[in-house]
Amino acid sequence: MAVCVAIGNTITYMTHNNETPSANSDSSWRETPAELAFSRALAEADGPADIAGVWPEVLWNLLRAEGVPLWTFPPSLGGPGLDRPALVAANARIAKGSLTAAFILSQHDAAVRRLLIAAEQRPNAAYWLEAISNGDAFATVGLSQLTTSRRLGATALVAKSVGSGQFELNGAMPWVTAAERADVFVAGAVTEDGKQLLFTLPADRPGVVVRPAYDLAALGASRTSEVGCDRVDLTEADLLAEPAADVMAGSSATGTGGLETSALAMGQALAAIEGLEAETDTTLDEPTAALRAEWNSLWCDLMNTAAGASDAPSSATIRGSANALVVRATQVYLAARKGSGFLRSDPAQRWARQAMFFLVWSCPRPVAQATIRDLCDL
């Protein structure tokens, strides 16, 4: 297994024999000419999407044209069979071009991962996977009420048993990205006896209401909103897992708040650092070099953790460091751009606003506390 090592401002990948791995190593940061062109196309569409605040059809079509929504699928379902380091790196490249696109994709991919886990035992999961892989359906998740959201509490959505394997849903899923675009929600609810339930919920099921999108400080084009459920019928065929005390156990490997989220922060931080490197003001050389060296070191930590290296940092540690880096890198770039950076037409202000999202998105309490202490220099 290759291990990533940051030496100064460069990144080196060594095998257990201290030999440089082959050029097709999955854990390296590199962008081919085609990937660079794709990143530029995403970046050109991200600004207009941010200003318009409507569903970013251009961004999603760019992802579809490159086969990106299939990245999480295995070869048997038409996917490329990427391992986790390769997938984490690929998501960082998307975020470098457009955090809007990367965020929407992350919620789609989280739904796919949950469906893949259940597909062998649940025919309904296999059905939706086939529809999604064929481009006939769009999936997203409604799980925040079971994980980190405190807006409506752990019982935001309640599943009342009305028969063997039959439930009635009442309440709401508070943070659902691309809800108005979704054909199916991979969602969770709390049962009357305090257990948790995972299920697929078709968007056209009677009683399901997609409410107007939130007026977010950034990423408005993600069309994140609340989805209400008023006496919605749930059948045994809809279930992805039997009721359990902690049905989301292991979500760090399959959810939206683990290494994939850190990868998105790293991608946006790199966009800001590369922006700094393109500035001609020589007084920026030292802080830019410091940010680049920090990014390289953290990228190696991220890749080593994704690869399962025994001495790699925890996912939570990386998330805290990535949060701190993306906030600082984007703020530095905004300061470097001066007044020009405060114009809506300049990416500096957009990246600074978007970076704040990492402070609140799928941010477990220990990570949030680490971020607060870092911002207070404690």
CATH number at residue 151: 2.40.110.10
Range of the domain at 363: 257-375
8 domain-assigned: no
pTM for the complete prediction? 0.91
Cβ(21)–Cβ(15) below 8 Å: yes
Same domain, 215 and 174: yes
Same domain, 321 and 283: yes
Same domain, 366 and 261: yes
pLDDT at 152 over 60: no
293 domain-assigned: yes
Of 133, 152, 172, the domain-final residue: 133
- Other beta carbons less than 10 A from residue 21's beta carbon: 16
Q: How confident is the model at residue 4 (pLDDT cuts 50, 70, 90)?
A: confident
Q: Which residues pair with 111 in a beta bridge?
A: none
249 Cβ neighbours under 8 A, 6+ residues apart: none
pLDDT at 95 over 90: yes
The tens digit of pLDDT for each residue in 45-72 reads: 999 999 999 999 999 999 999 999 999 9
Same domain, 294 and 336: yes
Cα separation, 269 vs 355, whole angstroms: 8
16 domain-assigned: no
Looking at the structure of the chain, the number of domains it has is: 3
Cα separation, 343 vs 362, whole angstroms: 29
The tens digit of pLDDT for each residue in 109-132 reads: 999 999 999 999 999 999 999 999
Of 83, 118, 133, the domain-final residue: 133
pLDDT at 26 over 80: no
Same domain, 282 and 344: yes
Same domain, 219 and 149: yes
Same domain, 129 and 144: no
191 domain-assigned: yes
pLDDT at 139 over 90: yes
Cα separation, 308 vs 2, whole angstroms: 11
- Comparing 77-86, 247-256, 271-280, the range with the smallest average pLDDT is 247-256
Cβ burial of 59 (10 Å; 0-12, 13-18, 19+) is buried
Cα separation, 275 vs 269, whole angstroms: 10
Of 185, 215, 244, the domain-final residue: 244
Cβ(177)–Cβ(223) below 8 Å: yes
Cα separation, 301 vs 312, whole angstroms: 6
* Secondary structure (3-state) at 173: strand
Q: What percent of the chain has pLDDT over 90?
A: 74
| Burial annotation 211-226 (CB, 10 A radius, 16+ → b, else e) | eebeeeebbbbbbbbb
249 domain-assigned: no
**Which residue is it, tokens 């405190």?**
150
> Sign of the CA dihedral 5, 7, 9, 12?
negative
Same domain, 229 and 311: no
Q: Which of 271, 181, 171 is nearest to 228 (CA)?
A: 171
What local confidence, expressed as pLDDT, does residue 253 receive?
41
Contacts of the segment 190-193: beta carbons below 8 A, 24+ positions apart: 190/145, 190/146, 190/154, 190/155, 190/157, 190/158, 190/159, 191/158, 191/159, 191/160, 191/161, 191/167, 191/243, 192/158, 192/159, 192/160, 192/161, 193/243
Count of positions (residues) in the chain: 378
The tens digit of pLDDT for each residue in 198-230 reads: 999 999 999 999 999 999 999 999 999 999 999
Cβ(200)–Cβ(185) below 8 Å: yes
282 domain-assigned: yes
Cβ(181)–Cβ(138) below 8 Å: yes
Same domain, 227 and 284: no
307 domain-assigned: yes
Cα dihedral 212/115/145/239 (nearest 10) = 100
Number of Cα atoms under 13 Å in the Cβ half of residue 360: 13
Same domain, 38 and 118: yes
What local confidence, expressed as pLDDT, does residue 369 receive?
82
The token pair that represents 370 in the structure block: 């680490």
Query: In this structure, what CATH number is given to the domain that contains residue 53?
Result: 1.10.540.10
Same domain, 186 and 295: no
The tens digit of pLDDT for each residue in 155-206 reads: 689 999 998 889 999 999 999 999 999 999 999 999 988 889 999 999 999 9
5 domain-assigned: no
Cα separation, 274 vs 183, whole angstroms: 38
Cα dihedral 258/262/267/273 (nearest 10) = 180
Same domain, 157 and 109: no
